[in-house]
Every structure is written in C-alpha cells, then in structure tokens.
Amino acid sequence: MSDKAATYSPRRLPELTNAGLAATAEITSYNEFNQPVEGSVAVERALTIYLDKREVVTLMTLGNYPELLILGWLRNQRMVEDIEAIKAIQVDWETESVAITTHSGVDDLDEKLSHKTVTTGCGQGTVFGDLMDDIDKVKMQQPRLRQSTIYNLLGTLNDYNEVYKNAGAVHGCALCNGENIEQFIEDVGRHNAVDAIAGHMWLKDLQGADKLFYTTGRLTSEMVIKVALMGIPVLLSRSGITRMGLDIAEKVGVTLIARAKGRHFLVYHGREFIEFDAVPESRTKAAPDQ
C-alpha cells in the first residue's frame, strides 16, 4: 500500500493541521439553593470524516486533539495499515469536517465500510472490519509490574484529568512508560481518547510492549481489543470491567487491573506478574472492595 523509502531514511509522515480547540465552555447553572453556580462544561463537536473525498462517518468529539484522534481512528478501524500511506489530515471546524487524503487510495474501502459493529464504548462505537479476527493472532508477553509503580502512577495521574475536574462528562486515557506519563488525552467518548493515544503512538512510532495504558473508563471488550492491538500488555482502569473484556485479556495476555483509585485496585488477570511490594499497612486503611 505504501511506497516506503529505503531503510534508515526518515518516515514520510502526513501533513497535519493543528486545529485543536478549547475543551470547555463557561456555563451558569443553578444549584439546589436556587443560587447561580459558574462552571465549565465539556464541549462536544461534530467532525465528519472524508476519506479521499468520500464521506465515511461523523464523530462527536471534544475537539482538542482532532488530528491525533483521526490518525488513531484510521489505525484502530484498520482503514490504513501504514502511516506513510497518508498524505494529509486537514481538520476544518468551519465545515465540521476532516479531509484525509492518501497517496494511493485505500484498499477494499467498500468492504471495510460494509461491516459495522456498534460497541458498548462511549465514543466511536462503530468498528469496520472484524477486530476479533485480528485479535486471534495476538499473544502478548506480560511484563512484571510493581504495586509501588501502580501507586506512583495513580498519584501522578491524579494531577491530570484537567477537563474532567473542570467540567466532567469526559473520559481520560494515558499512555504510561514506567512511572512516566507520556501522553494524557481526554475526550467526550473514551473511545476517542484511546484512538487519539493510538494516533500519538503511530505518529511517534512508539511500541506498546513496554507501556501501560490507563483509562478512567470501563474495560469493555472493545477497549481491551484496541489496547491489545496497540501492543500494550497492561491495562489499568479507574472503573470496572465486563466479562467479555476479561475473556479477551485472558486470551491475548493483557494484565487487567480495575477499580484503581487511591490505594485500592482489583487485579482481574495477570496477578502472577504483580510484585506486591507496597501492600498497605492495614486492611482497614484501604477502601472497601468493589
């Protein structure tokens, strides 16, 4: 599909606009005392995707990282295999659209558009193509993970979630490397946020094997599939899981930790890879289970 240059030459990356917009708007509401409360709410914007001039779909997004979102969407929907096949991604908020142009077209576009799965995810529920087919080929190597690393990450992550703290109604995702947070992205849909992280990884040519993925959202099947296909073997969530999310994590070998908040967490898969080096002193100090 791509016309890749010779080995060792730099990758030919797409031209990208830089059209990120403010994520919140100021609103006055009234509380239970009938008193005005000034506050922020998350903005939600429509963005219609045109792939080589063909209308594909409209996403609803916060709009703060539209180019990374579209890049990750192209990758996670398996629309384009090689980033070098993409010539440009041009976001235009006036027309609420993004024009994606490729160097030499998209293979089997009709076929890719024909099969739709509407998932349980917030955000972009539609999955073109059968991710489950791809997931059958994935088998990951789960890394060792220290409890102290989990705690340090949760502490640092607490400082992020900027839009959520101001406005609520968004989900955050983070790409973590050891105890460092490489990228943190929020969106009105948790699937948009995970796609934007995928876009960032694709653009920077980052591998997933040494990474950890954090999300404030629930670990439903599609979330686990997406993260597995990004090659990331550890998934940490502030929320819960579904049985199907766990099934997929077991199948592909993803360490699955949920309900992670403060000192509390529940390991659903991969306990043997966790080094419990920071067990809280007393059981009574920890948050209750659930």
64 in contact with a copy of itself (CB under 8 A): no
In angstroms, give the least distance from the CB of 164 to a copy of itself. 9
Looking at the Cβ atoms of 203 and 258, the one nearer to a copy of itself is 258
How distant, in Å, are the alpha carbons of 37, 64, 164, 167, 189 from that of 40?
Answer: 10, 15, 10, 5, 18
Stretch of 38-46, 89-97, 177-185, 196-204 contacting a copy of itself, by CB under 8 A:
38-46
109 in contact with a copy of itself (CB under 8 A): no
Name beta bridge partners: 24. 42
The identity of residue 286, as a single letter, is A
Residue choice 74, 173, 219, 254 for contact with a copy of itself (CB under 8 A)? 219
Residue choice 53, 137, 139, 243 for contact with a copy of itself (CB under 8 A)? 243
Residues with Cβ < 8 Å from 72, sequence gap 6 or more?
A: 194, 195, 196, 197, 198, 199, 200, 201, 202
215 in contact with a copy of itself (CB under 8 A): no
286 in contact with a copy of itself (CB under 8 A): yes
Cα torsion for 217, 222, 224, 226, to the nearest 10°?
Answer: -110
DSSP state of 136: T
Q: What part of residues 7-36 is at the interface with a copy of itself (CB under 8 A)?
A: 25, 27, 29-34
Residue choice 97, 147, 156, 161 for contact with a copy of itself (CB under 8 A)? 147
78 in contact with a copy of itself (CB under 8 A): no
In angstroms, give the least distance from the CB of 29 to a copy of itself. 4
In angstroms, give the least distance from the CB of 11 to a copy of itself. 29
Q: Distance between CA atoms of 266 and 207, rounded to whole angstroms?
A: 26
